[in-house]
Structure 1
Amino acid sequence: MSDVTVAAGDPLPSYEVTPDTVQLFCYSAITWNPHRIHYDAPYARDVEGYSDVLVQGPLMGSWLMRLCADWVAPWGRVDTMTYRTTTSVMPGTPLVVGGVVVTGGATPEAEIWVELPDGTKATHGRVTAIAEQ
């Protein structure tokens, strides 16, 4: 783990993202996700009852994986990552992708999340990393 100490309470390198409808459309296309709730606003409103299209849970998972990969890049690798989306997110919402180490050492674990402006964690999960020499 050469000169890197991972300790409980350490923050992961958080970043901000504001998804837009073009990003949602493109993500649906590259993942072959044809569900109209992610790109067709009239359908999302009139049929599903939302105020707009929804950000895909797997897109938020991709942001979490980027967070985890950036965190471990200097000293190790991601071993496992799990997440669950529990709150709907609309495009145009500024989000913070972040986390905090809960267990340090050679196999650190961290809680990770995608957070709404009001502090609600729309997506939350956990990552385990492995230090490499």
Structure 2
Amino acid sequence: MTQSIDTASPKDTKVFRSTDMMDPARSAALQVALGLQPSMTAGAELPPFFHQLYFWTPMPPDQLGRDGHPGLSKSGLIPDLGLPRRMWAGGRLQFEHPLQAGVEAEKRSAVERSERKLGRTGPLGFVTLRHDIHQQGRCCLSEWHDLVYREDPAPGAPKPVPPRAREDEEVARQVSFSSTLLFRYSALTFNGHRIHYDLDYAREVEGYTGLVVHGPLLAQQLMLLAEELMGPLAEFSFRATAPLMHFEAASLCCKGRDLWVRAPDGRQCMQAQAVPRA
């Protein structure tokens, strides 16, 4: 895997480039972790969103933030907005061509939006990253990745009231997320965010009641369900609306092109829309 920074793009926007051979064993390992039959071999088409397993950006320990993510700096891809808590708020994907396992690919990443605003609960930072993945001389996938940054909650501050999930689904699948699955997903995606594996940190520093299920892992499950029901996808968008804890089972729901994740107490954890390939 190689990485480089290109600053010769319009308006001096930094474009981070990295390459990866898309090792099929890594995708097969995720299939096993999700309880699926491993089928990835060299040349096989990757399931949607499996590119999250690739293009790692390892950083030495002294360059990590308190939460386990790479620390922010002016020289990195993500600007430092002065807010400690990071959340993957959602994303949008356009699938042009299937990615193939075992074939070198290049990922080109840039910041499309970076701003700080004052919300009802205090200052918020919003960052949108764009990733384009090229393989065999063509762009196969474009992804917009939305991040939200916020301050630590004040002691005793009320928690936001999550939205209620719909109950008119045509299809519902029950899923669970053990701490083992969260650990495996963190390892396969090289995600060091401590809210997914460090229970004391998740509870005492960030105020959660348990380990937090990765937003991308919820989106991954919804994408696999959408592809099963609709066939190959052309587009997929999702937005996280409430955290799901590792001790909670959840329902993956679908009606038409709408999908969502419903927690046991009825709150909506994620909503999504899928567009099948014509």
TM-score range, shorter chain: 0.7 to 0.9
More strand by share: 2
Q: Secondary structure at the match of 2:264?
A: coil
Question: Structure 1: how far apart are the matches of 2:266 and 2:207?
Answer: 24
Q: Secondary structure at the match of 1:90?
A: coil
Question: Structure 2: how far apart are the matches of 1:130 and 1:10?
Answer: 22
The structure with the larger Rg is 2
- TM-score, normalised via structure 2 length: 0.38
Question: Structure 1: how far apart are the matches of 2:191 and 2:203?
Answer: 19
> CA shift at 1:54, angstroms?
0.4
Question: Structure 2: how far apart are the matches of 1:130 and 1:89?
Answer: 30
- Other-structure match for 1:82: 237
- Other-structure match for 1:62: 220
Deviations 1:44-88 (A, max 9, x none): 111112121100000000000111111023xxx211111011101
- Relative distance call for 1:29 and 1:56 in structure 2 (3 A) is same
**What is the CA RMSD across the aligned residues, in angstroms?**
1.6
How many pairs align?
111
- Other-structure match for 2:177: 19
Q: Which amino acid aligns with 1:81?
A: F
Question: Structure 2: how far apart are the matches of 1:91 and 1:50?
Answer: 11
Contiguous gaps of at least 5 residues in structure 2: 1-167
Residues 87 and 123 of structure 1 are in contact (CA less than 8 Å); yes or no, is this contact kept in structure 2? yes
- Other-structure match for 1:130: 277
- Other-structure match for 1:37: 195
- Relative distance call for 1:118 and 1:46 in structure 2 (3 A) is closer
Deviations 1:12-49 (A, max 9, x none): x4311011111011101101110111000011111112
- Relative distance call for 1:20 and 1:47 in structure 2 (3 A) is same
- Relative distance call for 1:115 and 1:42 in structure 2 (3 A) is same
Residues 14 and 67 of structure 1 are in contact (CA less than 8 Å); yes or no, is this contact kept in structure 2? no
> CA shift at 1:130, angstroms?
2.8
- Other-structure match for 2:268: 121
Structure 1's consecutive aligned runs of 4 or more residues displaced over 3 angstroms after TM superposition are none
Deviations 1:76-112 (A, max 9, x none): x2111110111011012110101111xxxxxxxx111
- TM-score, normalised via structure 1 length: 0.77
Q: Secondary structure at the match of 1:58?
A: helix
Contiguous gaps of at least 5 residues in structure 1: 1-8, 102-109
Question: Structure 2: how far apart are the matches of 1:126 and 1:72?
Answer: 12
